[in-house]
Amino acid sequence: MGLLRSLAMLLLSIWLFCLLQVARAQSPSSSTSDARALDALLQDYAYQAFVHPRTGVVYEGIVPSNLTGIMISAMRLRSGSLRTKGVRVFKEFEIPKGVLEEPYVERLVLVYQNLGNWSKVYYPLPGYTYVAPILGLLAYDASDLMANNLPELDIRASGQPISIKFSNLKSLPDGLVLKCVSFDLNGLENFSNVLSENICTTFQQGHFSIVVESIAPSPASVSPTPASPGGKHVPKINGEGKKNNSKVWIVIGSVLGGVASLVLLGLLVSWLHKYRNRKRIQKMERAADFGEILHMTTVGSTKAPAATMMRTQPTIETEYVP
Ligand SMILES: *[C@@H]1O[C@H](CO)[C@@H](O)[C@H](O)[C@H]1NC(C)=O
Ligand SMILES: *[C@@H]1O[C@H](CO)[C@@H](O)[C@H](O)[C@H]1NC(C)=O
Ligand SMILES: *[C@@H]1O[C@H](CO)[C@@H](O)[C@H](O)[C@H]1NC(C)=O
């Protein structure tokens, strides 16, 4: 059984290895890390909008020129007021009472992002078309307004969800079903239904938009942004390339894993087959030793074993006359 067990172990470890590779290729995709880097950059720029900030007032931030098209805003709040009152209007967001942050801070900053024409660059969603820009809502500790690279606070609505009212949806042919899409901070997407035409809801922070499933993607709609002449600020072309690359590796990995498994399975089966044959021969030998005694008959001048019931009498070939 030793061989069988080690073969099985080998098979299992190869399979686990392949699984791991696939998981690694999929989870922190390059576009997710680009999006996280953008969050960090926008936090920094949003905080710069605060000079002598009053709580509960929306301050508009200014993005670096290489990100023109993105809009950011920030609002500083006491966490007690967020919990007991919420924020009736923060751009497209309506935050009900009962939103709690984790870990607890005394004051926090809500950063709003509108990614505009950069939405699909930072949040590519194959098979879907954005009909609204990606809107982000992220929360940070407000204790140091000069800070950058702050970690997000985890905010959650404990009662009513936060709602997002999108305006100016891109007009579309009738009959397409709108879907809310949300991305959590790990870049995981989740779809839900749109409420009254243009409202999405969420219980946590993240990035949100409305999409429709793409109709047969015409070449024009696939690449509406030809690499601009001053294209040094279009870094995500690269990002998408990397993503495709990792998909290729997933495919190659799966195929190789599959082939390896098949080969091993073949080996296992042939080994089992041999093992069973050996067992059978052993059994036959044992049967010969202890069980039925084979009757010896004389055939011509030689002795040969013969079963008790014979269908044909043994004859010597040369004696056989047709
Ligand atoms: C845009 O410019 C800012 C500041 O100049 C820089 O920190 C950032 O990395 C640039 N971002 C991109 C995506 O090029
Ligand atoms: C978005 O539009 C601005 C001008 O409004 C442009 O400078 C920028 O390059 C555009 N971004 C993308 C990703 O096309
Ligand atoms: C996706 O959204 C639905 C509805 O908002 C929610 O019930 C579900 O838990 C979410 N799933 C994930 C993985 O976030």
pLDDT tens per residue, range 87-137: 999 999 999 999 999 999 999 999 999 999 999 999 999 999 999 999 999
The reported pTM is 0.64
Cβ-proximal residues to 31 (8 Å cutoff; 6+ apart), any chain: 122, 123, 124, 187, 236, 239, 240, 243
Q: How far is the CA of 255 from the centre of ligand 2 (A)?
A: 40
Nearest CA to ligand 2 atom 6: 68
Maximum distance among all Cα pairs of the chain, rounded to whole angstroms:
121
Tell me if 214 sits within 8 A of 201, measured CB to CB: no
Q: Which atom of ligand 3 is nearest to the CA of 190?
A: 1
- Cα 28 from Cα 30, distance rounded (Å): 6
- 52-85 pLDDT, tens digit per residue, is 889 999 999 999 999 999 999 999 999 999 999 9
Ligand 2 atom closest to the Cα of residue 228 is: 9
Taking a C-beta distance cutoff of 8 angstroms, is the pair 61, 73 a contact? yes
Nearest alpha carbon, ligand 1 atom 9: 41
Residue nearest to atom 8 of ligand 3 (CA): 190
For residue range 208-262, list pLDDT tens digits in order: 999 999 876 554 444 444 433 433 333 333 334 444 556 566 666 666 766 677 7
pLDDT at 91: 97
Determine the pLDDT at residue 83.
Answer: 96
Cα dihedral sign for 76, 190, 236, 168?
negative
Question: Is 57 within 8 Å of 48 (Cβ atoms)?
Answer: no
Enumerate the domain spans of the chain: 28-238
pLDDT of residue 231: 36
Pocket test for ligand 2, best of 38, 66, 117 (most atoms within 8 A of CB): 117
Topology (CATH) of 28-238: Chondroitinase Ac; Chain A, domain 3 (2.60.220)
Region 21-31: mean pLDDT is: 60
**Segment 171-177 mean pLDDT:** 85
Q: Which of 181, 188, 183, 190 is nearest to 207 (CA)?
A: 183
Give the nearest ligand 3 atom to 161 CA. Answer: 5
Say which DSSP state 202 is in.
E
- Average confidence score pLDDT of the chain: 80
More confident residue, 10 or 190: 190
- Could you give the angle at the alpha carbon of 206 between the alpha carbons of 205 and 208, nearest 5°? 120
Distance (angstroms) between ligand 3 centre and the Cα of 190 equals 6
